[in-house]
Amino acid sequence: MKRTKWILLTVTLFIFALLLTACGGESDKNDANEGDNGGGEKPEFLSLLTGGTSGTYYPLGGEMATMIKDETGIQTDPQSSNASADNVAALRDGDAQLAFVQTDVISNAIEGINSFEGEPVDNVQAIGSLYPETIQIVTTKDSGINSVEDLAGKAVSVGAPGSGTFVNAEQILEVHGMSMDDIEEQNLDFGESTGGIQDGNIDAAFITAGTPTGAVEGLKAQVDVNIVPVAQDKIDALVEKYPYYASDTVKAGTYGLEEDVQTVAVLAMLAVTDSLSEDVVYDVTKAIYENTDKIAHDKGEFITKESALDGIGIDLHPGAKKYFDEAGISASE
């Protein structure tokens, strides 16, 4: 009798041990799947953060969202936003999957400086760069503002605190020996900025966007526009201290300008959360860079796979890297 009880106890313990092993193996399997860069699953929906409706990001983002949907079958919706800094924060927090950002802003985010001071972002990667984003210091021809130094004491819109435009304004003022304390700082979006100039409520505005920018074109329809130049020695000083800047030109004829205006630019790029799988990001990257000829926006001519790795300054998502490796594309030296 005792022997029978002993046998039953042994069998029971053996079965219990098997169950524990099975549960543990399933747990390990689930843990592995959770760490597999999104588990390789194809999402039904992607959110693409752009910028304000009066800038360049929003209309261009609308075209790209359509391309992604058509090529991958994933419903992709463009959403207006406060642009670069807020977009990076949304990617970091898991509130979106794709976003337009400035190369300087994402660099700051990864390093944990400026608007990301002490809070470095480690879950956002690059798909590729797009086009130059020109820093335009916009005013009117009769404002009397013809240099950056002339902004002293004037009411100037510099964008939302922490935004890419705000940081650009700070840094340009800095190389001119100035700061926000030297102007009457106004924190307006692009549409509010040009509206304020038109109404006479502000004197000038920093606008970082691809040219021509819709808000500035709207202003041109009402008044004669002037773009304030940045002198070459100041450009050199800016690029030396902040290498993500490059010299740029607002061409004659843009906004009715009679001559080219020298200024600086950063790059616009597409960023992605690292939670998306390699396969999904590969398909998204291919959808964009294999169909740039379908982009109707003026900035479409600048978006090429050959230049997509220039100036991004952060790690590529593995899916984007796979696409560019297969295409034989590497960053310019």
Matching residue, tokens 């740029």 = 248
Q: Which domains does the chain have, with CATH numbers?
A: 45-130+268-326 (3.40.190.10), 134-266 (3.40.190.10)
Q: Which two tokens stand for residue 279?
A: 């396969």
Measured at the alpha carbon of residue 262, what is the angle toward residues 258 and 265, in degrees to the nearest 5? Answer: 125
The 10s digit of each residue's pLDDT in 270-286 is 999 999 999 999 999 99
> What is the rounded distance in angstroms from the CA atom of residue 69 to the CA atom of residue 74?
5
pLDDT of residue 152: 98
Q: What percent of the chain has pLDDT over 70?
A: 87
Could you tell me where the DSSP H helices lie in 99-251? 103-111, 164-175, 190-199, 214-220, 232-241
3-state secondary structure of 28: helix
Give residue-wise pLDDT tens across range 239-270. 898 888 888 999 999 999 999 999 999 999 99
Q: How far apart are CA 5 and CA 13, in angstroms?
A: 12
Helix, strand, coil % (nearest 5) of the chain? Answer: 45, 20, 35
Tokens of 305: 């796979």
Of 136, 111, 132, the closest CA to residue 121 belongs to 111
pLDDT at 146 over 90: yes
For residue 184, how many other CB atoms are within 10 A of its CB? 14
Q: What is the pLDDT of residue 332?
A: 59
Q: pLDDT: is 312 or 170 the higher one? A: 170
pLDDT at position 185 is: 97
pLDDT value at residue 83: 80
Percent of the chain's residues with pLDDT above 90? 69
The yes-or-no verdict on residue 16 having pLDDT over 80 is no
**β partners of residue 246:** 265
Identify residue 329 by its one-letter amino acid code. I
Statement: residue 31 has pLDDT above 80: no
Scanning the chain, the segments in alpha helix (DSSP H) are 2-34, 57-72, 84-92, 103-111, 164-175, 190-199, 214-220, 232-241, 278-289, 318-326
- Over residues 173-226, the pLDDT tens digits come to 999 999 999 999 999 999 999 999 999 999 999 999 888 898 999 999 999 999
pLDDT tens-digit series, residues 108-124 = 999 998 889 899 999 99
Helix (H, G, I), strand (E, B) or coil at 149: helix
Residues 207, 190: Cα–Cα separation, whole Å:
7
Torsion angle of the four alpha carbons 46, 50, 54, 55, in this order, in degrees rounded to the nearest 10? -140
Please indicate whether residue 32 or residue 202 has the higher confidence score (pLDDT).
202
Q: In this structure, are residues 187 and 158 in contact, taking their beta carbons and an 8 Å threshold?
A: yes
